[in-house]
């Protein structure tokens, strides 16, 4: 049963191009399936989350991270009475706009674009992908997703001002997104904060001692685990501790969001949209725990000396290829050269690079820049 404040598929604002109903799937289920079958979604398998494949192929990539976000988000959505099909579609599409090499790649693309008075934003790029780049249907360009999924792509993690982004006016920028979209951002934070601790420990870049000394909630939960499993090996104690962290944060998000909804007196979707603040949030105490874990990851993993060469290499590859194609656009594929006739060349080069996998962009770098 859906809660009164959930998004109902029968009340959807529909698709940009009308389509007849499907005999056994509703519109949000079809959107989920269209995302899964898209090229952009498949390419996530070869895009960096934290560790590039040059470091190891043992750890999470952008696709496995996306699947974990979807699992966490579906669980929470069911407990809150939200539309699980819409939540799943939003979770699966939320990272399709990311370029190769994770956040290092995003930073390098943004720097390159700002040299031309433009910028790179992975949410806006994701919208371009589903609206234009995916070519699967004879009747229209893109995936023709419902309004609610397109709105969630834009608004799940960021509030855009209509004065700065008039081209996004149709997405009700002055209103809050539905709870289904709000949920994705927090589920994403929970997913990567716990998963990156796991990969960091597996990589031996993070030690159990570091984790216990640097993350108070980890230390407290690890103490509970040791009292129950005193003879377990360190790896299993780590696993049990991380599981408890994840369960604690997910449970808190469910209960705190229920309380926020109750306090706000929200009775329907319109009242969700008109709320002054987002309602899907962790409690203050658990949000503090999450921030402490995130700060620990930035200090000890993301900006670690060990991973620094990989990040520097990624930024160099993207920067040099961007400048190469800006100087010699005749080397772009024909379809991108055609688009450059009607759109700014920097945007076209950016689009091309952002769609690449880690492996493919290294191939292009060797081909055009003549270096390993």
Mean pLDDT along residues 199-224: 96
pLDDT at 372: 47
Q: How many CB atoms lie within 10 A of CB 233?
A: 9
Q: Could you tell me which of 200, 195, 207, 220 has the C-alpha nearest to residue 285?
A: 220
pLDDT at 50: 87
For 318-367, write each residue's pLDDT tens digit: 999 999 999 999 999 999 999 999 999 999 999 999 999 999 999 999 99
Structurally, the chain folds into a number of domains equal to 1
pLDDT at 55: 65
pLDDT at 54: 64
What is the average pLDDT score of the chain? 95
Q: Is residue 109 part of a domain?
A: yes
Q: Is residue 362 part of a domain?
A: no
Evaluate whether 297 touches 193 at the Cβ level (below 8 Å): yes
For 97-151, write each residue's pLDDT tens digit: 999 998 899 999 999 999 999 999 999 999 999 999 999 999 999 999 999 999 9
pLDDT at 112: 97
- Helix runs in the chain, H state only: 27-36, 39-43, 62-80, 84-93, 102-114, 122-128, 147-155, 179-202, 208-214, 216-228, 234-264, 269-273, 284-297, 308-327, 334-340, 345-354, 358-369
pLDDT at 43: 96
pLDDT of 52 above 90: no
For 239-281, write each residue's pLDDT tens digit: 999 999 999 999 999 999 999 999 999 999 999 999 999 999 9
Q: How far from 95 is each of 42, 117, 158, 186, 356, CA to CA, in Å?
A: 12, 25, 14, 14, 14
- Show the domain range for 280: 9-308
Q: At 151, which CATH number?
A: 1.10.3210.10
User: How sure is the predictor about 1, in pLDDT bands with cuts at 50, 70 and 90?
Assistant: confident
Q: Is residue 372 part of a domain?
A: no
Q: Is residue 371 part of a domain?
A: no
């Amino acid at each position: 049963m859906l809660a009164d404040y959930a998004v109902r598929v029968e009340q959807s604002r529909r698709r940009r191009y009308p389509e007849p109903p499907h005999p056994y799937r509703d519109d949000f289920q079809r959107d989920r399936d269209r995302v899964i079958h898209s090229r952009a979604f498949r390419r996530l398998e070869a895009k960096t989350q934290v560790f590039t494949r040059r470091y190891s192929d043992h750890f999470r990539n952008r696709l496995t991270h996306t699947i974990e976000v979807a699992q966490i988000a579906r669980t929470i959505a069911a407990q809150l009475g939200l539309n699980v099909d819409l939540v799943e579609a939003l979770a699966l599409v939320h990272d399709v706009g990311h370029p190769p090499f994770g956040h290092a790649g995003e930073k390098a693309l943004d720097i390159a674009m700002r040299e031309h008075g433009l910028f790179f934003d992975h949410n806006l790029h994701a919208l371009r992908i589903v609206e234009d780049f995916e070519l699967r249907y004879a009747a229209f360009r893109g995936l023709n997703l419902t309004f609610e999924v397109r709105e969630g792509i834009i608004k799940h993690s960021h509030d855009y001002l209509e004065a700065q982004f008039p081209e996004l006016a149709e997405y009700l920028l002055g209103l809050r997104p539905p709870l289904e979209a709000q949920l994705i951002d927090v589920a994403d934070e929970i997913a990567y904060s716990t998963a990156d601790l796991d990969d960091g420990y597996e990589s031996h870049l993070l030690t159990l001692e570091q984790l216990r000394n640097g993350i108070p909630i980890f230390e407290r939960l690890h103490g509970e685990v040791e009292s129950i499993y005193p003879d377990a090996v360190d790896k299993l104690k780590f696993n049990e501790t991380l599981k408890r962290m994840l369960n604690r944060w997910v449970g808190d998000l469910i209960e705190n969001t229920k309380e926020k909804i109750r306090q706000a007196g929200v009775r329907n979707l319109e009242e969700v949209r008109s709320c002054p603040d987002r309602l899907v949030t962790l409690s203050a105490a658990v949000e503090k725990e999450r921030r402490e874990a995130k700060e620990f990851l930035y200090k000890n993993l993301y900006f670690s000396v060990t991973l620094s060469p990989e990040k520097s290499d990624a930024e160099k590859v993207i920067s040099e290829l961007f400048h190469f194609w800006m100087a010699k656009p005749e080397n772009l594929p024909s379809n991108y050269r055609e688009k450059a006739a009607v759109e700014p060349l920097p945007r076209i080069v950016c689009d091309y690079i952002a769609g690449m996998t880690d492996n493919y962009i290294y191939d292009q770098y060797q081909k055009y820049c003549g270096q390993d």
